[in-house]
Structure 1
Amino acid sequence: MSNQHEDQARASIERAKSLVIDSIAETMDLYGVTRSAGNLYGTMYFEKDMTLDEMREKLGMSKPSMSTGVKKLQDYDIVKQTFRKGTRRQTFVAEKDFFQFFANFFSKKWLREAKINLDAIQKAQRELHDLIEDPDVEENLREEAVITYRQMEASKSYYHWLQKMVASIESGEIFEIIPIEDEEKN
């Protein structure tokens, strides 16, 4: 293969990677992760491991931005710190298995959603309970408090379901219910 043909092939591979990196960044942005962190994850997805300097060079971001992005991705357990033989610099590797990515990323977000909302409902219902039990509260306000209390109570089933769904993801049970298709067989 000639050098020109090799260069064209390399450029084609890089364009293909860029398309996927951009789509990963866009979808992660939909779920509350900055586009720059999404670009970082997408870039790391195609690499074995990277140091912060390599990331900075590849993406043209500042080292503090790189550190912040990597830390955020580590919080979701979709980037892990690794060690490259022969260097003292920290290296990082992206989760390559999208099913594991899904489990790690969404489980953390959904558990946080359930906790925040269940805690708020518990506090709100205590306040409403006190109001409902207060003999000096007008009947129309008591009725509104009861309706509001019941509405909050009904919403708890969603958050408990969400917690069960996360448990099924973490245990792998979800993949028995919705099996992973082997695309090579299809």
Structure 2
Amino acid sequence: MNDLNGLSPEQIERISKARERVIDSIGKNMDLYGITLSIGHLYGYMYFNQGPVTLDELSQSMEMSKTSMSTGVRTLLDLKMIDKVWGKGTRKDLFEVIPDWHQNFSDFFSIKWRKAVEGNMIALSKSLQEISAMKLDFAGDEGIAALLSTDEEKIGEAMKYYRWLLKLIEALESGKIFDLIPKEE
């Protein structure tokens, strides 16, 4: 981390230890949400870095292979937690952290939840279509019709939940969530 130049070895050690504790905490927190510990550590390292870094610099600093580093950077780019930036005088890709943790949280959950909700709603809609067809097929059997109607109601309740979750996702994406739960200033 290039901001430690000019400090004594003792100062560097103390600052590094404090930063490493936070970086480890970031990694563990991200691990709770399905992001690997190493990618969490990568984000933490980049968070404390004073400016953009290349894959080579990250790989060397974190003692990880360039392939692993590339995968981690791609994941963080997909989650909108880092940006690729332009750097004067370099042909290598540069990456820097987006330090807005509120926006990172919003983007992360919006991306993950939207994908899950859309997949679940497709599955539920398909099941509703199949139930409608079965209701026609078994129109004369009151027992099966009652069972299918109950299933239809249960799926309808699930659909209500997923529509509500889409509203929550939209509130995260638009920033309206912060009107309800303001950011701490």
Where does residue 128 of structure 2 map in the other structure?
Answer: 125
Distance in 2 (alpha carbons) for counterparts of 1:30 and 1:137: 50
User: Are positions 1:45 and 2:23 aligned together?
Assistant: no
Aligned-residue offset at 1:137: 7.0
Distance in 1 (alpha carbons) for counterparts of 2:26 and 2:123: 33
- Count matched residues: 178
Where does residue 76 of structure 1 map in the other structure?
Answer: 79
Q: Deviations over 1:15-53 (max 9, x none)?
A: 111111111111111111111111111111111211000
Where does residue 28 of structure 2 map in the other structure?
Answer: 26
Where does residue 92 of structure 1 map in the other structure?
Answer: 95
| Pairing 1:37-186 to 2, within 5 Å after superposition | 37-47=39-49, 48-135=51-138, 138-182=141-185
Aligned-residue offset at 1:136: 6.3
CA contact (8 A) 1:25 1:38 kept: yes
Aligned-residue offset at 1:117: 0.8
User: Are positions 1:12 and 2:14 aligned together?
Assistant: yes
CA contact (8 A) 2:138 2:144 kept: no
Residue 65 of structure 1: SS of its match in structure 2?
helix
Distance in 2 (alpha carbons) for counterparts of 1:10 and 1:116: 48
Task: Give structure 2 stretches of 5+ with no counterpart.
Answer: 1-6
Normalised by the length of structure 2, the TM-score is 0.90
CA contact (8 A) 1:77 1:104 kept: yes
Distance in 1 (alpha carbons) for counterparts of 2:137 and 2:69: 55
CA contact (8 A) 1:131 1:137 kept: no
Matched to 1:75, the amino acid is D
Distance in 2 (alpha carbons) for counterparts of 1:38 and 1:97: 15
Distance in 1 (alpha carbons) for counterparts of 2:145 and 2:47: 56
Percent of counterpart pairs with the same letter? 38
Residue 93 of structure 1: SS of its match in structure 2?
strand
Q: Deviations over 1:123-158 (max 9, x none)?
A: 111111111221367433332222122111101122
Residue 34 of structure 2: SS of its match in structure 1?
coil
